[in-house]
Structure 1
Amino acid sequence: MSDRPRILCRMTSSIDGGLHPSRYTDSPDGTVKDWTGIYEDLHDRLHADGWIVGRVTMAEMAKADPTPATGTDTPPRPHLFQRRDAAPYAITLDRAGKLRFAKGDVGGDHFVVLLGSSVGDAHLAELAANGVSYIVSDSDEIDLPVALATLRHDLGIETLLLEGGSGINGTFLAAGLVDEFSIVLTPTLDGAAGAERIVATPDGLRGKVTLSLIDCERLAAGAVHLRYAVRPAQ
């Protein structure tokens, strides 16, 4: 068995590759105005132990002001787990410690922050005081395989939904850490200028991975749920 959780990259797309449902055209039958509802219903149906996003995505949910912690105790390293029975967990990468949290969860999903080694004790103390769990890497760059193994061994996370932007999706994929793509393809158009990507990597992926169809499920209003297994290219 793998030392890390099974990771499913979950995204929603319009026919023309748009990744922001707020810009999508309406459903053909006019019943769906907000496609995020279908995405969230599927999210819940997957019954994963947690979900993970990048700092920019998490910043939409973590908007607290800095609140320096009181006390003189040195916060623990390399990790602090304030809850070990909180699945699903809301996990984010915040290498430099820029995010601020007002409490330890979002919608009941407990926060776990992955940090680089240069993050100071003051920030760790603030996270601890606000009920947030964290893992600090040995290096300034987040060691994803080690962090994921810790999430599995210490928190029992067996399945994790990767729901970030193209950058974090590409980072995980390039590191061989994505097992499956779970894509909701909607019968819509975006039409906005500028290329969007489900995955972006500096060197591209041609010759590196292959995708094999697992299932195609018809959803409401003409949307489909496409599942692809990810394998290294032969």
Structure 2
Amino acid sequence: MIKRPHVICLMMTSVDGKILSEKWGNNKQVKTLAESFEKVHEIIGNKNWIVGRTTMEKDFTHYAKPVYKEVDHTISREDFVANRNADSFAVVIDGQAKLGWNSSDMLGQHVIAVLTESVKDSYLAHLQEIGLSYIFAGKNSVDLKVILEKLTALFGIETLMIEGGGHLNGSFLNEGLIDEYNQLILPLADGRLETTSVFEIEEKDRKFDATLLQLLEVKQIEHEVVWLRYKVLDHV
């Protein structure tokens, strides 16, 4: 049996299941509510997390442009493990190499970029130069199962947190790769039709009608935030 991490999805939502908190404004009370996410992340205690390119560039790299280091040779499409022994890892799925990096460290965690084999040699050369690890998960598109298998085999990751957005969460759910779901429901409503929800799966890609969950725990925490914890059971 191929080993992969235990995958926990942690999301913070409005009561109507919307997740894009920047649309909720800069109100002091809203900011206080949003702080619940990091607090619960710390309570859960797992430090290894994965996000998609959109979340990473919006919240962490702040739309930095890719950096290229010209090389006069072809770089083989082999996984590059710069630091297997880091205390924790920040993993980002960036199949087409659109993120810009100037460091291999993200909030004290070692970065692992998930790429496809179609990326440029000059992009890989820069990542190697700054010591940022990368793995390949497909030729032109990424295979989520391959990602998880490599994270365990190459970096020893046993537990991984998925933290949005909706498309990434939906992709993992669609492949049956989420083991536990934690939702923080903030006491506010969004109401926008266009705001992203927790899980979003294109109908053409859908592999099931619904996912069954088992409720493990319900807590009311600070500021009237409700914390729901579920075990993912099966698809129907």
TM-score for both structures, normalised by structure 1: 0.88
Give the aligned partner of residue 199 of structure 2.
199
Residue range with higher mean Cα deviation, 88-97 or 130-139: 130-139
Unaligned runs of 5+ in 2: none
Residue range with higher mean Cα deviation, 193-202 or 6-15: 193-202
In structure 2, distance between residues paired with 1:208 and 1:15: 20
Pair 1:37-2:35 in alignment? yes
Give the aligned partner of residue 156 of structure 1.
156
How many correspondences in the alignment? 232
The structure-2 alpha-carbon separation of the partners of 1:23 and 1:79, relative to structure 1 and needing over 3 Å to count, comes to same
In structure 2, distance between residues paired with 1:37 and 1:2: 37
Give the aligned partner of residue 118 of structure 1.
118
The structure 1 residue matched to 2:48, chosen from 46, 50, 65, is 50
How does 1:1-234 map onto structure 2 within 5 Å? 3-24=3-24, 33-60=31-58, 61-62=60-61, 63-69=63-69, 75=75, 77-203=77-203, 207-233=209-235
Per-residue deviation at 1:39?
A: 0.4
The structure-2 alpha-carbon separation of the partners of 1:19 and 1:116, relative to structure 1 and needing over 3 Å to count, comes to same
Matched-pair identity in %: 32
Question: Contact 1:89 / 1:111 at 8 angstroms: preserved in 2?
Answer: yes
SS where residue 230 of structure 2 aligns?
strand
Question: Contact 1:64 / 1:102 at 8 angstroms: preserved in 2?
Answer: no
TM-score for both structures, normalised by structure 2: 0.88
Amino acid paired to 1:160: L
The structure-2 alpha-carbon separation of the partners of 1:108 and 1:214, relative to structure 1 and needing over 3 Å to count, comes to same
Question: Contact 2:66 / 2:123 at 8 angstroms: preserved in 1?
Answer: no
CA RMSD across the alignment: 2.5
Unaligned runs of 5+ in 1: none
Residue range with higher mean Cα deviation, 109-118 or 131-140: 131-140
Question: Contact 2:166 / 2:198 at 8 angstroms: preserved in 1?
Answer: yes
More helix by share: 2
SS where residue 125 of structure 2 aligns?
helix
Amino acid paired to 1:59: E
